[in-house]
Amino acid sequence: MEEMKMNVRPTGNRGNWAKKAPAVAELGKKPPQALDLEEAVLGALMLEKDALTTVIDILRPTSFYKEAHQRIFKAILALFDKSEPIDILTVTHELRESGELELAGGAYYVTQLTTRVNSAANIEYHARIITENSIKRDLISISSEVLSSAFEDTTDVFELLDKTEAKLYEVSESNIRKNFDDMRSLMHQAIKELEEKRKQTDGLTGVPSGMTALDRVTSGWQKSDLIILAARPAMGKTAFVLSCLRNAAVDFKKGVAIFSLEMSSLQLVNRLISSEAELDSEKIKKGSLEDYEWAQLNHKISKLTEAPIFIDDTPGLSIRELRTKCRRLKAQYDIQMIIIDYLQLMSGNAEGKGGGNREQEIASISRAMKMLAKELNVPVIALSQLSRAVETRGGDKRPQLSDLRESGSIEQDADMVLFLYRPEYYGITEDEMGNPTAGVGEVIIAKHRNGSLENVQLKFIGKYTKFTNLDSDFGGDGGFNALPNSSFDTETPGAIRLGSRMNDGSNGGGGGFPASGFDEEPPF
């Protein structure tokens, strides 16, 4: 039994196996291991030069149970990194240079490993068995730690639950990696997706925003995309994402999760109620509703009540907590979109605190968000603040990519960067075409990895805290035919404006002219 304790391997961040061995020994069982296969794999790696490329994605030094084998495998990896040949002599030399030859069993032991196998024919199969045993040992270690902590009266059960889930995910993430795909399978998948897209008569291939002009450019928020929505305070970032969230969940029945680090859940719900029922947000806040307004509220929020919307207002949310909660929501409710309001209020993982500056922390958060979008295969929309450079700039104060706060990696990691801009906020009453800017918000697509860059104009209704299509006041069908005597409502910005660069289409929609029988654009 003493021998067993000596051979138990260290696991680095996943706990000290020397401390966990007694718990295993008490059960009278040896930790899962396959020493003969470990010897065979190491021998094969020193016999055939191409063997390492077969197992390098499967094995790590900690996959080996015996400490001497871990050291030998590290020496093999070191030689591989330096593009040097791998054989008995070079591995022995590398171990001697690093001062670990005796700890690895000596030159004779390294030489003896090559007698355990004749070729590397079955090395991948052997490597996977070694990895499976390594995973089992990690699970035993985690279980032992959970068992010990669960018996302690001072243990915070929710903290223990979170730590356990994080460790289990770490084991899964570090051992189960996606392999490459061959062209045949990728082509088959691509054709299948094209056939499905062909059935989409509305041209939407992602989660719809409900803003016709915006969806025309993006085809909806695309799976695995990280979308950054940035603006200065009071531009309506939260109002915009809530409008998109509402449209996706209510109109298209898509499950949406929003993590609000700035506003409480009830504040968000009140905004949604104001927008859905079209009641003044100030009245909602004060509760000063007339009887007919109560009836209007109860009538209009029924769809909102049943919508698959999930709100989390945990303050100071870390990226690990976000990832954990999103995985649960995806597994339980199959959410199709994630919104974070907003990025700068998030914190990095606990172990990273104090290890770097805020810019590095934001960089790690943005990278983790992109990884989350790919892992769950859903669009992730993260709100972000812009620097004060926008305010000090002259002219129309339109934001640009260099205005993103705290980290250039936000721009680098994002698949799309959108800026929200309302000219009337800066006292600009007319645009360059002489049209009034009251009630008009502009979505500037500054980066679009898989599409064009456009400026899309929307209607902003401040008292309802919502964004909608510019032509939403034209009637139920959104067309000019709904207007009495074909006249234009000059008091409604949406009725007299063209969507920026979006009026080329003939099928209508927000920001452009719907098909209405006009041969030419109406004169303004």
Task: Tell me which residues are annotated as active site.
Answer: 262
Alpha-carbon distance of 6 to 43, in angstroms, equals 23
Q: Are strands 440-448 and 416-421 parallel, antiparallel or unpaired?
A: antiparallel
Per the structure block, which two tokens stand in for 319?
């990226």
C-alpha 158/C-alpha 408 separation (Å) is 35
What kind and span of H or E run contains 391? Answer: helix 389-392
CB count within 10 Å of CB 463 equals: 12
Instruction: Please state at what angle helix 291-300 crosses helix 265-277, rounded to 10 degrees.
Output: 100
**Residue 36: C-alpha distances to residues 47, 52, 54, 63, 115 (Å):** 16, 18, 19, 14, 12
- CA pair distance 389, 422, nearest whole angstrom: 16
Beta carbons of 268 and 237 less than 8 angstroms apart? no
Helical ranges in 48-85 per DSSP H: 51-55, 67-81
- Give the C-alpha separation, 40 to 380, whole Å: 45
Instruction: Find, among 260, 217, 254, the residue nearest to 238 by Cα.
Output: 260
Structure tokens at 233: 């305070």
**Is 4:30 a contact under the CB 8 Å cutoff?**
yes
The counts of H helices and E strands in the chain are: 21, 9
Which residues on neighbouring strands pair with residue 203, listed in sequence order? Answer: none
Sort strands 337-341 and 380-385 into parallel, antiparallel or unpaired.
parallel
Q: What CA–CA distances, in Å, run from 269 to 185, 202, 229, 239, 301?
A: 44, 30, 21, 12, 11
* Neighbouring C-beta atoms of residue 152, cutoff 10 Å: 9
What is the 8-class DSSP label of residue 247?
A: I
Which distant-in-sequence residues (6+ apart) come within 8 Å of 342 by Cβ? 237, 261, 262, 382, 383, 384, 385
Which 8-state DSSP code applies to residue 456? E
Whether the CA torsion 37, 40, 46, 49 is positive or negative: it is: negative
d(CA 21, CA 465): 60
Q: Which residues of 503-517 are buried (b: 16+ CB within 10 A; e: fewer)?
A: bebeebbbbbbbeee
- Bridge partners, residue 279, by sequence: none
